[in-house]
Amino acid sequence: MKFGFHISISGGFKHVVERALERGCETIQIFSRNPRGWKYNPLDSKDIETFKTGIKKESISPLFVHMPYLPNLASIKSTLYKQSVDSLIEDLRRSKILGAPFLIMHVGSAEDRERGKRQMITGIREAFTRVNNDVILLLENTAGSGNELGFRFEEIKEIIDGVDLPEKMGIVLDTAHAFEAGYDFTTKEAVSDTIKELEKTIGLKNIYLIHLNDSKTKLGSRSDRHWHIAKGEIGEGMAYILNHPSLQHLPFIMETPRTNLKEDKMNMKMVKNLTKE
């Protein structure tokens, strides 16, 4: 079991390791570029070498890259769909350059759910055809806001099965999103039931990462609002997640709200205390 945070790449990748160590990270997640735009600059080889040397020296692993927020492979708009596939291709390439074995992508959004799932399958397969490397693509479950796909485990499994490249696909379980989608984590029994549902639908062997986030909104709210560990609606259930035997081998990365370093240190201290319990 390793703990970490999403770490900013502001000012260059050379600053990432220092920020990770300040927070006590053993594993990290980063963007490879601006997460709120389509344009990107080529990776700077010297900057990347400094970064890769640093994470190796400090034994920070595994490294996860998260795709930007704009891509939506389920979109019916042809321009957005093409941009999204190209974006996936670019981040598969950048992940390999950065030394990241995993790339995380949000499941898309579509009014026509069946068409949306078909497009995601087609788009992912196209990206894998055009980029032949060993980066594993991880789909992240959603809270189910609006027309989001992937808030039910069955839909994620449909997409993975449709791509039919099991060695190149997996999932990230976001605890806040799952809770907001209606999967209960508030008691020991509820956590056990949700883990059993995961095993039945997706298979625990396909989970590579836990996004450990509490929720500011209630069970089944379908509203995506992350909150500080054990201070939200999941509350003491966070301890049951952390200590569940089926998840002990996984890395846990927090995406909790932050205005400064103090909040990250607070959340890291909390997960360590809950794990001791």
Could you tell me the pTM of the whole model?
0.96
Span 120-139, pLDDT tens digits: 999 999 999 999 999 999 99
Q: Residue count of the chain, please give it.
A: 277
Lowest mean pLDDT, pick from 9-18, 34-43, 246-255: 34-43
- Residue-level pLDDT at 276: 77
DSSP summary character for residue 72: -
- Residue-level pLDDT at 83: 96
Mean local confidence (pLDDT), 12-31:
98
Residue 37 pLDDT greater than 90, yes or no: no
- Residue-level pLDDT at 277: 62
Residue 87 pLDDT greater than 90, yes or no: yes
User: What distance in Å separates the CA atoms of residue 265 and residue 140, rounded to the nearest whole number?
Assistant: 25
For the chain, the average pLDDT equals 96
DSSP summary character for residue 41: P
Question: Which of 233, 153, 151, 161 lies closest to 193, judged by CA?
Answer: 153
Check: CB of residue 127 under 8 Å from CB of residue 95.
no
Counting DSSP H helices and E strands in the chain, the numbers are 9, 10
User: What distance in Å separates the CA atoms of residue 145 and residue 91, rounded to the nearest whole number?
Assistant: 25
Check: CB of residue 266 under 8 Å from CB of residue 257.
no
Mean local confidence (pLDDT), 90-119:
97
Residue 208's pLDDT band (boundaries 50, 70, 90)?
very high
* Backbone torsion region of residue 220, taken as left when φ is above 0, otherwise alpha when ψ lies between -120 and 50, otherwise beta: left
Q: What's the Cα-to-Cα distance from 103 to each of 137, 197, 248, rounded to whole Å?
A: 5, 24, 21
- Residue-level pLDDT at 36: 86
Question: Which pair of tokens denotes residue 50?
Answer: 């400094």
Span 148-190, pLDDT tens digits: 999 999 999 999 999 999 999 999 999 999 999 999 999 999 9
Span 234-270, pLDDT tens digits: 999 999 999 999 999 999 999 999 999 999 999 999 9
Q: Residue 149 is which amino acid?
A: L
Q: What's the Cα-to-Cα distance from 39 to each of 33, 75, 137, 206, rounded to whole Å?
A: 9, 19, 21, 32
Question: Which of 135, 116, 136, 216 lies closest to 176, judged by CA?
Answer: 216
What is the total count of domains within the chain? 1
User: What distance in Å separates the CA atoms of residue 102 and residue 138, rounded to the nearest whole number?
Assistant: 7
DSSP summary character for residue 43: P
Through-space distance between the first and last CA atoms of the chain, rounded to whole angstroms: 15
Cβ-based neighbours of 9, under 8 Å, separated by 6 or more: 15, 16, 30, 31, 32
Instruction: Return the bridge partners of 29, or none.
Output: 6, 64
- Residue-level pLDDT at 46: 97
Residue 13's pLDDT band (boundaries 50, 70, 90)?
very high
User: What distance in Å separates the CA atoms of residue 91 and residue 104, rounded to the nearest whole number?
Assistant: 10
Which structural domain, as residue segments, surrounds residue 87? 2-276
Q: Residue 37 is which amino acid?
A: G
Q: Which helix (DSSP H) or strand (DSSP E) does residue 17 occupy?
A: helix 16-22
Question: What CATH number does the domain containing 161 carry?
Answer: 3.20.20.150
